[in-house]
Amino acid sequence: MTPRLLVIAGSDSSAGAGLQADLKTAQLFGVYAQTVVTAVTVQDTMGVKAVHPVPPQIVRAQIEAALGDIGADMVKLGMLGNGAIAAAVADSLKGAKLPLVLDPVMTAKGGAPLLDGTAAQVMKERLLPLALLVTPNLPEAEALVGIAPRDEAQAAAAARKFAALGVANVLFKGGHGEDDMVRDFLVEKGVVTLFAAPRRHSRHTHGTGCTLATAIACGLARGKSLAKAVGEAHAYVQAAIRSAPGLGSGHGPLNHAVRPI
């Protein structure tokens, strides 16, 4: 059977991030993705212009429709927006008992907030404990547990704080670092694995977090180990940045059509 992924996230009108990036990534990895829209954003490569949250009851109905018919092998969770939507998602997923990759989307690439304080609290208390893997970038890790890990020791310390929130596995993304290497630290049940690549000083990095989390979820849906899925997703995103089409005047999209490594 074709692997099935349920993506719960916001829509990006520029198609570089959000559900549009998720769909393109899943298609490339040979995974069938269904979508649950949590918010409609108005954005281009210069930034987010507006956000329109979807009513929580419609979010929940979308999840029920997706799981009630086609079903899913994995869930990828992205933008939540507000507390009511986060609670609706938590209510729907609690009984589903499906493996979840959670990308704690808190701000857009240009800095616009995409998660309010109530939603962040719901995520910490009700959604993080459901996740097989959480994929924070450095600012998100600092916001959630007070540590922005830039080395192995800091990653281990931050992972222990995530473990106290009920999270067994964390991937700390190093895209916001400042040195010449991008260092992503996977902490899987206490064991730290480094995934590193030369940093490309490119403005065409819109949607890297969405794309990475979805690529990992696709690998897991296809039966890969967590470390293997993360490694392949890391290589894919780096290749997608290197071959980005150069669109837009700001943070441009990746090349989601690049073949996985």
CATH no. for residue 32?
3.40.1190.20
- Which of these, 101, 47, 104, 50, lies nearest to 80 by C-alpha position? 104
Tell me, yes or no, whether 187 lies in a domain.
yes
Tell me, yes or no, whether 219 lies in a domain.
yes
Amino acid at 126: R
Tell me, yes or no, whether 254 lies in a domain.
no
CA dihedral over 205, 238, 191, 152, signed as positive or negative: negative
- β-partners of residue 182 are 197
Tell me, yes or no, whether 203 lies in a domain.
yes
Residue 112 CB coordination number (10 Å): 14
Tell me, yes or no, whether 84 lies in a domain.
yes
* Residue-range definition of the domain harbouring residue 71: 4-242
Measured CA to CA, the distance from residue 261 to residue 244 in angstroms comes to: 16
Tell me, yes or no, whether 108 lies in a domain.
yes
3-state class (DSSP) for residue 99: coil
Task: Please state whether 228 falls in left (phi above 0), alpha (psi between -120 and 50) or beta.
Answer: alpha
- Which of these, 145, 138, 174, lies nearest to 159 by C-alpha position? 145
Residue-wise pLDDT tens for the chain (261 aa)? 899 999 999 999 999 999 999 999 999 999 999 999 999 999 999 999 999 999 999 999 999 999 999 999 999 999 998 999 999 999 999 989 899 999 998 876 666 777 788 898 999 999 999 999 999 999 899 999 999 999 999 999 999 999 999 998 999 998 776 678 889 999 999 999 999 988 888 899 999 999 999 999 999 999 999 999 999 999 999 999 999 999 999 999 999 999 865
Measured CA to CA, the distance from residue 170 to residue 72 in angstroms comes to: 22
Tell me, yes or no, whether 25 lies in a domain.
yes
Report how many domains make up the chain.
Answer: 1
Tell me, yes or no, whether 13 lies in a domain.
yes
DSSP for residue 122:
H
* Residues forming the active site: 173, 205, 207-210
